[in-house]
Amino acid sequence: MERLAAPASGLVSGRQHALDGLRTVAGAGVFLFHTVTGFAPGGSIGVDVFFTLSGFVITLLIMKEYRATGRLRLRVFYAKRLARLWPALLALCAVVVTGGLIFPSSGWGGQAADAIPAAGYVMNLSNFGAFGSSTGGGALSPTWTLAVEEQFYLIWPVLLLLMLRFWRVRTVAWVTAVLAAGFLVSRFFLVSGGASLARLYNGPDTRADELLLGCAVALVLSSIRPGSRFHGSLQAGVRRGGPFAGLALLAAVFTLKEPTTPGAWFDVFWTVGPTTLALLAGLAIGWLVLQPDGLISKVLSHRWLSRPDGTCPMACTSGTCRSSSC
């Protein structure tokens, strides 16, 4: 069992304020997508960034405890994940149900049944009809993102600990990347088989590669020995590729419209699009972490974007907003 000392760069322990800022910018994109869609037709890619960030952050949390103790207290881990958001989620469900009962003609009317899959972290499955008729578009529908993450969190810690028993951290990072590629192939077969947009958009498997690529980035950075040749090579790589990834994601917010109707572009995008966006997000994350003194890292670490008191810097527009120190 490998137990390396935590990197001096603070990747395993310590707050990454620039990542909080990146999350805020991604959340702003989602907000713009829902409010001024014509201005930011690709703002929904903030969700892809959220998933990649979530995989990154949760893996760092696991690695922090694993390096310190050689194990992970799974019961404590799951209890913390549940306590982190579930009370607020239940309160949201209660507000929507109550509002719908009091004002049945409002946008919340007739949505009481949606509270069950939302509170049970299975709204993503409900959205594509896993329990019968498909849902979607309601006030609680955005909780599908939380469902995807919580379903991933059930499996990933156990799988990661199992891999760490047999392989070095850097090897586990490569295996994780291969797993992500496997889900890309799986999505290819779903698209080729005519899967619906709801299935492709909400599936825990169709989003797994985004989360796993974030996990892989976290594992790579966790394996770095500061000052090593590998460290220097990664820093040189992100100096070149990081700005490109950031600009590409920003440009996509204002130019990329996710296809919704069947056709060649639909097939191409929903096969490789999520993976491509996750790779760009992963590269941007690596850039911010490995270049903490860079201008963009400092801008994103500003208190207006990254609250130093640990509170969320903005309202959760997609159901996934959380501090990177959670």
Contact 187, 208 (CB under 8 A): no
Supply the pLDDT for residue 14.
54
Supply the pLDDT for residue 78.
92
Q: Where are the alpha helices (DSSP H) in the chain?
A: 17-35, 45-69, 74-102, 115-119, 123-127, 144-166, 169-192, 197-202, 208-222, 229-255, 264-290, 295-300
Supply the pLDDT for residue 216.
97
Supply the pLDDT for residue 315.
34
The one-digit pLDDT tens for each residue of the chain (326 residues) are 334 434 434 454 556 788 888 998 998 999 999 889 899 999 999 999 999 999 999 999 899 888 888 888 999 999 998 998 899 999 999 999 999 889 888 778 888 888 999 999 999 999 998 887 777 778 899 999 999 999 999 999 999 999 999 999 999 999 999 999 999 999 999 999 999 999 999 999 999 999 999 999 999 998 888 778 888 888 888 889 999 999 999 999 999 999 999 999 999 999 999 999 999 999 999 999 988 888 888 888 888 777 644 443 333 333 333 333 33
Residue indicated by tokens 């020995």: 225
pTM of this structure: 0.87
Show Cβ contacts of residue 285 under 8 Å, excluding neighbours closer than 6 positions.
19, 22, 52, 53, 56, 214, 217
Supply the pLDDT for residue 307.
60
